[in-house]
Amino acid sequence: MRADAQRNRALILDTAELVFAAEGAAASTEEVARRAGLAIGTVFRHFPTKDDLLTAIMKRLLARLVERAGGLSGPYGLFTFFGTLVAEAAEKRTVVAMAGVDIGAAMGALDDAVGELLVQAQSAGVVNREVRLPEVMALLTSVGQGALHGGWDADLQQRTLAVIFAGLVPPPRA
């Protein structure tokens, strides 16, 4: 792939991420092209289908989340991860679980990364051993969606996460 094509591919993804985050998956592909300053044909050359573009965005977002989760460690990594996810979603810089797009395998990698954070937190005794990965993922995606569409301010983010964090910590011993 030529250098300019490489640059355009990235430009399209960046622009599309903004556009779809702002207007939803129903935004037109032409709008993406316009904002990227490219002709519509160029967008379709890189992503032959609108769905391909949406999927590519989702995969890149997930890859970023995986990378971020992988970069964390220690007992409180899981909490940190929750925090940044919500903060980003609230700023619409990320779009998780866009409807109707198949991300399949890409999601598995996130499961693995978050699972690792969960194990570390439980090993350190800061998260209840009863808690399992599926509900952690469910809470992550829920709260991501909520922040995305609800436009929570920093205070609300913190207070909402406080409830979840309180629910994750181990119960006091009798």
Residue-wise DSSP of 73-142: -STTHHHHHHHHHHHHHHTT----S-TT---THHHHHHHHHHHHHHHHHHHTTSS-TT--HHHHHHHHHH
Residue 30 binds which entry of DNA, its own copies, none, CB below 5-8 Å type-dependent: DNA
What is the contact mask toward its own copies in residues 107 to 136, using x (rule: CB under 8 A)? ---------------------x-xxx-xx-
Cβ closest to its own copies, residue 3 vs residue 134: 134
**CA–CA distance, 43 with 12 (Å, rounded to integer):** 7
CB 8 within 8 A of CB 46: yes
What is the contact mask toward its own copies in residues 80 to 99, using x (rule: CB under 8 A)? -----------------x-x
**CA–CA distance, 86 with 93 (Å, rounded to integer):** 10
**Minimum distance of DNA from residue 162's CB (angstroms):** 40
By CB under 8 A, residue 41 contacts its own copies = no
42-50, 67-75, 105-113, 142-150 -> range binding its own copies (CB under 8 A): 142-150
- SS3 for 173? coil
CA 42 to the chain's CA centroid: 27
**Minimum distance of its own copies from residue 13's CB (angstroms):** 22
**CA–CA distance, 60 with 72 (Å, rounded to integer):** 19
**Minimum distance of DNA from residue 59's CB (angstroms):** 17
The residues that touch its own copies, with contacts defined as CB under 8 A, are 24, 26, 97, 99-100, 128, 130-132, 134-135, 138-139, 141-143, 145-147, 149-150, 152, 156, 159-160, 162-168, 171-172
